[in-house]
């Protein structure tokens, strides 16, 4: 899989995407991640990529042309158009399920906006979907782009050691994840739950499932209701 990110801050993106699991996966050739400087595609001698908005208003708007030129240059030798995402607070909220779906695509191109956003015409011309990572506004699309790139990358074959690494994590199954414990067995007077020390896999699995149900019910009743409703439907 290949992910391309069009941004005004490629060094910032590269720093994050070169670390930890995703960084190792890139070096091993398990996934391709490329960050592109939009300013490189400006025709302005000062590499300007923004201008004042028509109709007035505060702030500046990123111009369509540099973004479009960047897209054309990056995808020039692609056999088909990549799935294009624009990071936007107006987009549909990102979920684990969407991360799984996107991880099955061959090429993804992510546009990071800045200032007051980007000219709507380039969105209409090349963008397939707008995605938000939550109901708040950030300075630019870089942090959201890094979030979804990480979430997508770890779903790709070979990035994690096995599917078990993500199948029991929060949201993948529809529940929040159960609590974890490690050595020492007793810390600050608190002991690890006894069942985890027994080596009885069935009992451990049952304990973890019940803990996941409990945590989800307490912290995310919306997810708990959805999970129980889906289970009831599947059991019919």
- DSSP symbol at 76: T
pLDDT of residue 158: 83
Q: What is the DSSP string of 135-170?
A: SS--SSSHHHHHHHHHHHHTTSTTTSS-THHHHTST
pLDDT of residue 167: 54
pLDDT of residue 169: 52
pLDDT of residue 38: 98
Task: Kindly report the pTM of this predicted structure.
Answer: 0.86
Alpha-carbon 54 to chain mean position: 32
Backbone angles phi, psi at 67, to 5 degrees: -65, -45
Which residues of the chain fall below pLDDT 50? 165
pLDDT over 90 percentage in the chain: 86
Helix H or strand E segment including 36 = strand 32-37
Q: Model confidence over 177-195: pLDDT tens digits? A: 899 999 999 999 999 999 9
Domains in the chain (CATH in brackets) are: 2-153 (3.40.1280.10), 168-235 (1.10.1270.20)
pLDDT of residue 172: 67
CB-based burial label for 29 (10 Å; 0-12, 13-18, 19+): exposed
Q: What is the DSSP string of 169-192?
A: STTTSSSPPPP---SSSEETTEEP
Pair of tokens at residue 147: 């979030």
């Amino acid at each position: 899989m290949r992910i391309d990110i069009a941004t005004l801050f490629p060094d910032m993106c590269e720093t994050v995407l070169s670390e930890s699991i995703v960084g190792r996966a890139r070096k091993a050739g398990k996934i391709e991640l490329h960050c592109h400087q939009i300013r490189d595609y400006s025709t302005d001698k000062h590499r300007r990529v923004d201008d004042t908005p028509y109709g007035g208003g505060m702030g500046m708007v990123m111009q369509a042309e540099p973004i479009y030129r960047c897209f054309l240059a990056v995808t020039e030798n692609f056999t088909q158009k990549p799935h294009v995402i624009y990071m936007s607070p107006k987009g549909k909220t990102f979920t684990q399920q969407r991360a799984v779906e996107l991880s099955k695509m061959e090429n993804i191109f992510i546009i990071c906006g800045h200032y007051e956003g980007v000219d709507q015409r380039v969105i209409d011309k090349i963008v397939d979907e707008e995605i938000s990572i939550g109901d708040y506004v950030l300075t630019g699309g870089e942090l959201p782009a890094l979030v979804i790139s990480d979430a997508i990358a770890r779903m790709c074959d070979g990035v994690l050691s096995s599917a078990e690494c993500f199948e029991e994590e929060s949201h993948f199954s529809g529940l929040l994840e159960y609590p974890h414990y490690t050595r020492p067995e007793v810390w600050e007077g608190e002991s690890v739950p006894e069942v985890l020390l027994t080596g009885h896999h069935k009992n451990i699995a049952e304990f973890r499932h019940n803990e996941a149900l409990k945590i989800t019910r307490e912290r995310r009743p919306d997810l708990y209701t959805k999970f129980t409703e889906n289970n009831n439907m599947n059991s019919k």
